[in-house]
Amino acid sequence: MLIHSDSDPRAVRRSTGPRRAIAISCALATLLISGSAMAHGRSVSYSNWEIHAAGAQVTVRLKLLELSRLGPQALPPGSISAAGPPGTPDLPARAFPTELLLIANGTPCQPDPIAERRPDEPGWVRYQWQIRCPENAEQLAIRSQVLLAVAPSHMHFARVRFVDLSDRVREQVLTEASPEFVLRQFGEGKTDSPSGSQLSDYLVLGIEHILTGWDHLAFVFGLLLLATRLGEVARLITGFTLAHSLTLALAVLELVHPRAAAVEVVIAFSVGLVAIEKGWLLSGRPRVIPAMVLAGLIILALASLAGIATVPFMTIVGLVVFSGCYFALIGQSESDWLRVCLTFAFGLVHGFGFAGVLVEMALPADRLVPALLGFNLGVEAGQIGVVLILWPLLFAGRRMAGPRLSRFASELSAAGLCGLGLYWLVDRAFSA
């Protein structure tokens, strides 16, 4: 069985120099190409609409990183040294009013030619403008083309509130395939509440989110590398599911407010750690590997104290304590439940990562339940689908390849996954 070859010292001694060189090369190659593999590959933006009888006020919000898809000329003045002087209208200020339209009775309404940039938190940009429409238009619709020219998979979340019916708020996800959100308003004093995304829409959104969340998928793949039996796969995935479902709900319901920077760093670390554990098992559990992990984290902690790394210092301290305890325990025990505990702990953090999309939408209370339920079911469906595809392939590959080739493939996979996790960790820990 492959599980014995992972920890058999004789198998370790049979490892050759060329094989290890190839594994290292695989890790380095992964570092070189991983820059294009963003953690959450789906491009996202948000808008809030205050609809009144004669038009609307629109506020668009998105990450500064999203604007970089358009090139340096799209970044607001002062974001980079090459940008124009303060007060110069940037490309988004000119483009957004023409890419996010309000349609009244089949005709585009008249927007301000230039959107005004509003203050926002670091790493985010916000634009606001007014739109003028014929008074009391009977038919209204929002149409989005935001960033679709450079990111066809871009999702735009439109949140609508009618001023004269402030308690009725609806939202919808706009994509290239479905770019229009239809709102129906019939005459003075007789307003039909706008339609919005249903549970099925959030189900699809959850599936899309997990399938484009490369760091989450990488972590799941690492769990499958560590598992040797179907029962172990079931326990690991169940622990991961329970944990991230819990924190997803806590974050969306605003009962917990985690720091996004810390969440992203820990998610990256989780990918690297499962890959390191696989390599540790394959190499006979040498003490030098846990020591290197702890040394790397201590260096990162010092960089945080010096102000070089942006990740919170206490987050790194927590990772040091957690990693030291985990390696100490698993080095003395063969229990699968220790790995389930690891998976559950990291699943709690991944849940905060999943919650980011829904949290930014700022859904009203009456829309939270269908959104949360549908999105979580979608995430689980996508995750189970990935496992059902990958696990049979991995199991068949192990049986057909034989112990030596299977071990070599495991080394390559662990090295590549480790390189990807370390790239994300460094990139997020030292990002501005």
| Residue 19 pLDDT greater than 60, yes or no | no
Q: What amino acid occupies position 384?
A: I
Say how far apart CA 108 and CA 105 lie, in whole Å.
8
Choose the most confident range, by mean pLDDT, from 175-184, 271-280, 401-410: 271-280
pLDDT one-digit tens code per residue, 258-279 = 888 899 999 999 999 999 999 9
**191, two tokens:** 């307003």
204 or 145, which is more confident? 145
Whole-model pTM: value is 0.74
What is the predicted pLDDT for the residue at 21?
Answer: 44
How far is the C-alpha of 37 from the C-alpha of 356, rounded, in Å? 19
Look up residue 245 and give its two tokens: 């479902």
Share of the chain above pLDDT 70, in %: 81
Residue 39 has pLDDT above 80, yes or no: no
* 194 and 168 Cβ atoms separated by less than 8 Å: yes
Q: Look at the block and give the residue holding tokens 């483009």.
A: 95
CA–CA separation, 345 and 216 (whole Å): 14
Label residue 325 by pLDDT band (50, 70, 90): very high
Coil, strand or helix at 316: helix
Distance between CA 364 and CA 214 in Å, rounded?
A: 29
Mean pLDDT confidence for 17-27? 45
- Indicate the pLDDT class of residue 166, thresholds 50, 70 and 90: low
**What contacts 24+ positions apart, CB below 8 Å, involve 251-259?**
251/351, 251/352, 251/355, 251/358, 251/359, 252/355, 252/358, 252/359, 252/363, 252/368, 252/371, 252/372, 253/368, 253/372, 254/359, 256/352, 258/352, 259/312, 259/315
Sequential DSSP letters for 216-282: HHHHHHHHHHH--SHHHHHHHHHHHHHHHHHHHHHHHTTS----HHHHHHHHHHHHHHHHHHHHHHH
- Cα(114)–Cα(130) distance, integer angstroms: 10
> Averaged over 275-289, what is the pLDDT?
93
Q: Of the given ranges (286-295, 342-351, 355-364), which has the lowest mean pLDDT?
A: 355-364
In angstroms, the CA 418 to CA 275 distance is 5
Q: How many Cα atoms are found within 13 Å in the side-chain-facing hemisphere of 383?
A: 32
More confidently predicted of 291 and 84: 291
- Region 109-124: what's the mean pLDDT? 87
Which residues, 6+ apart, have CB-to-CB distance to 362 below 8 Å? 48, 159
Least confident stretch, 86-95, 206-215, 234-243 = 86-95
Q: What are phi and psi of 213, to 5 degrees?
A: -90, 85
Contacts of 223 (CB under 8 A, 6+ apart): 233, 236, 237, 240, 274, 343
Fill in the amino acid letter for 350: H
Q: Which residues lie closer than 8 Å to 412 by C-beta, 6 or more apart?
A: 22, 23, 26
* Distance of alpha carbon 126 from alpha carbon 66, whole angstroms: 12
Rounded Cα–Cα distance for residues 340 and 326 (Å)? 12
Residue 27 half-sphere exposure toward CB, CA atoms < 13 A:
18
Cα 174 to Cα 32, 91, 178, 193, 388, distances in angstroms: 33, 22, 6, 19, 30
**Domain spans in the chain, listed from the N-terminal domain onward:** 2-40+213-429, 44-196
Tally the residues of the chain: 432
Mean residue pLDDT of the chain comes to: 81
Q: What are phi and psi of 51, to 5 degrees?
A: -90, 130
